[in-house]
Chain A
Amino acid sequence: MSLAVRARSLALPLLALVLVAIVLVVQVANGGGRYAPSAVADPCTAPAPTRTPATLDALGQQLVLLGLDGAACRLGVSREALTLQLAQDHEDPSDAQVDALKAGMLDAIDRVKAAGALPPAADLVDQALDSADLNALVKLAIRALPDTVINRALPTDEVLRQAVENLDVRALLGDLDDSSQLGNLVTKAVTKAVEQTLVAQVRGLV
């Protein structure tokens, strides 16, 4: 076979290779091969929040989410894997999971405070009082206090720390099926923390 005939016979396979290369280069240059489910973030390096939550519900949610990060970091799993375990397990959460979540939420308060994203206590007190089981006169008296007094008397981080201590994490995890119960537990814990901190402050004055 002459060189010219041989070259001519190889032209078609070479053309095929060029066509394939063009298609593959265009696909890969536009993200081909990377179109897969998003990778989950490392819970130990989760970014701190930058926005101050406007409502008690939003604050509670932020602390639980950051708490999940901290708990997942402690347990050596991703936040999403821990969430799925807690949501899917038919058994009660383990002591390690409960302790890790509580510790994670306490860490979260420090992180939110360090980021300057904690709301002033006066904002929380007003919302907490709406659902607090207090005498109407006491509620009225507290609401009459200027915000500056409340903010000085009730450091937000202390109220929240107390709320986390009050929070029945096992019950919270057990009630994940009931979305309304979830909010109630968090609100109750914050309300009780407000009451306790206020009582402690009053006792300090006396």
Chain B
Amino acid sequence: MRRFRVPLLALTVGLVLADSAVVTLALPAILQRLHGTVPQIAWVLISFNLVLALCAVPAARLCDRFDPRICCAAGIALFAAASAACALAGSMELLIAARSVQALGGAFALVGSLELLVSVEGETRGVGWWIAAGVVGTAAGPVVGGLLTEAISWQAIFVVQVPVAILAVPAALSIRPVRTPTPQRHPPALAPNLALALLSAALTAALFLLVLLLVEGWRHSPAAAALTVSVIPLAAAAARPLVRRLGATPRMEAVAGSLLIAGGLVALALPPSAHLAWTIAPQALIGLGLGMTVDRLTAAALRDRLPRAVHGGWTIAARHFGVVAGLLVLTPVFTASLEAAQGPAQEAVTALVLDAPLQAGDKVAIAHALSDRLADQHDQVPDLRPAFRSLDIAPEDRPAADDLERALDDQVRRAATRAFRDSFLIAGALALLALIPLSVRRRSR
């Protein structure tokens, strides 16, 4: 057990932070299985991030006052139980409640793990493990969730967390925490935490909206989307070895990372087509930026500040308030843009149907099938393909109908891309705003 306790705790930290975005690719399946509404499905994401943001600092204060082993082990156990409850949830209300409890347990697990990792590995390595696990978990969440949903089911996302967490409980209890008297109580580091919050809000677009664009807008399978967004964690992992050669200061790394994230998000707003390849380079920029900012800023927020767990709690709170703010800002923008795109999309679709080389009767039948489909999928990016399956078209007209179907699909993808554009641009602006706190020089205390 001694050999595995550090990896197990790091894995738990990664799991808790991956849970922030792990269900993104599973949302359509959850919506269908639990008969939820679109606002409810948004709360599956928001509830976890909001509770984690609200509870991280109070949990850290409790860990600081009492035994961090108990806090951490109890948090992991609660997280495991709530994960199992998420998998068994039979309604949206139960799932949202279980996600909230999962975040509560996760808050204790995260801040307790920081203290325990430092107790085992020492200050530098312990904090390094904690930060690295968080970066990998955050970046890999959508990929892992998407692959599990496609390969097994959305419930599998939660089921696989249970055994890992159960193993981590004795690992946490086996560590004797090194308690150092902390006469000093430093205030939270404002600039790095603010930059973390702004960058987390911006990354919401890459970790949530990009996945939605790929699956709902461009109609790629969840597996294809999951593999595509794996570029972000891979680039994030590559960032550190690449940057080390340049010998830049941590602040300049964070500045460069913010610029990369902003640039990648702007590039996602301007794809030349709906081909997955056009998202690779923008995602690589975002992943590199994520790998250069989140760990540097978290380290800056923790450096020389006591109590360590409380400042770890502040970084978690900043990041997840940022995610919630990102969701609350970007979702209405996206919804409004989607609504605004409906008019031009409908006109473009109408033009294609009117000009199609088909008989008038077939055009009317297609128009009716499309109209029914659009009415069924109000407030969503419509999937028009089923409208063509029910049509009775003469064999000689089938090629023209197939061409029309492809052209209509292209128009829908164009409209979806346009609908996501403003959200990506706003997210890019949020990443640039992070440069403001980064430009504040740290004064000596």
Could you tell me which A residues sit within 8 Å of B by CB distance?
8-13, 15-17, 19-21, 23-24, 26-28, 30-41, 57, 60-61, 64-65, 68, 78-81, 83-84, 87-88, 176-180, 182-183, 186
Q: Are B361 and A27 in contact (CB under 8 A)?
A: no
0/1 string, B134-146, CB within 8 A of A gives 1: 0000000000000
Closest to A88 in B: B371
Judge whether B153 is part of the interface by a CB distance below 8 angstroms: no
Q: Are A40 and B260 in contact (CB under 8 A)?
A: no
Closest to A176 in B: B364
Taking CB atoms, residues of chain A closer than 8 Å to B415 are 36-37
Smallest distance from the beta carbon of A69 to chain B beta carbons, Å? 10
Judge whether B365 is part of the interface by a CB distance below 8 angstroms: yes
Taking CB atoms, residues of chain A closer than 8 Å to B367 are 87
Closest 5 CB pairs of A and B: A20-B263, A32-B270, A179-B361, A179-B364, A80-B347
Q: Is the interface of A mostly helix, strand, loop or mixed?
A: helix
Q: Are B351 and A40 in contact (CB under 8 A)?
A: yes
A-B contact pairs, 16 of them (CB 8 A): A13-B259, A16-B256, A19-B260, A27-B272, A35-B273, A35-B274, A35-B414, A35-B418, A39-B344, A57-B359, A61-B363, A65-B354, A79-B351, A83-B350, A84-B350, A183-B359
- A23 with B418: in contact, given A12-B256, A13-B256 (CB under 8 Å)? no
Smallest distance from the beta carbon of B101 to chain A beta carbons, Å? 40
Q: Are B364 and A38 in contact (CB under 8 A)?
A: no
Closest to B263 in A: A20
Taking CB atoms, residues of chain A closer than 8 Å to B418 are 35-37
- Among A21, A30, A38, contact of B411 (Cβ-Cβ < 8 Å): A38
Could you tell me which B residues sit within 8 Å of A by CB distance?
243, 246-249, 252-253, 255-257, 259-260, 262-264, 266-267, 270-274, 278, 281-282, 285, 289, 341, 344-348, 350-351, 354-355, 359-365, 367-368, 371, 411, 414-415, 417-418
Q: Are A12 and B345 in contact (CB under 8 A)?
A: no
CA A97 to CA B354, docked complex, whole Å: 18
Smallest distance from the beta carbon of A2 to chain B beta carbons, Å? 14
CA A27 to CA B279, docked complex, whole Å: 10
Q: Are A12 and B248 in contact (CB under 8 A)?
A: yes
- A84 with B346: in contact, given A10-B252, A23-B285 (CB under 8 Å)? yes
Taking CB atoms, residues of chain A closer than 8 Å to B348 are 37-40, 80
Q: Are B264 and A20 in contact (CB under 8 A)?
A: yes
CA A11 to CA B272, docked complex, whole Å: 30
Taking CB atoms, residues of chain A closer than 8 Å to B346 are 80, 84
CA A38 to CA B355, docked complex, whole Å: 13
Taking CB atoms, residues of chain A closer than 8 Å to B344 are 36-37, 39
Q: Are A23 and B256 in contact (CB under 8 A)?
A: no
- A182 with B361: in contact, given A36-B414, A78-B347 (CB under 8 Å)? yes
Smallest distance from the beta carbon of B290 to chain A beta carbons, Å? 13
- Among A11, A20, A36, contact of B285 (Cβ-Cβ < 8 Å): A20
Smallest distance from the beta carbon of A183 to chain B beta carbons, Å? 6
- A179 with B362: in contact, given A12-B252, A35-B271 (CB under 8 Å)? yes
Q: Are A27 and B354 in contact (CB under 8 A)?
A: no
Taking CB atoms, residues of chain A closer than 8 Å to B266 are 20, 24
CA A8 to CA B354, docked complex, whole Å: 61
CA A141 to CA B276, docked complex, whole Å: 65
Q: Are B246 and A15 in contact (CB under 8 A)?
A: yes
CA A65 to CA B272, docked complex, whole Å: 32
- A182 with B360: in contact, given A13-B252, A20-B259, A40-B347 (CB under 8 Å)? yes
Closest to A40 in B: B347
Q: Are A80 and B361 in contact (CB under 8 A)?
A: no
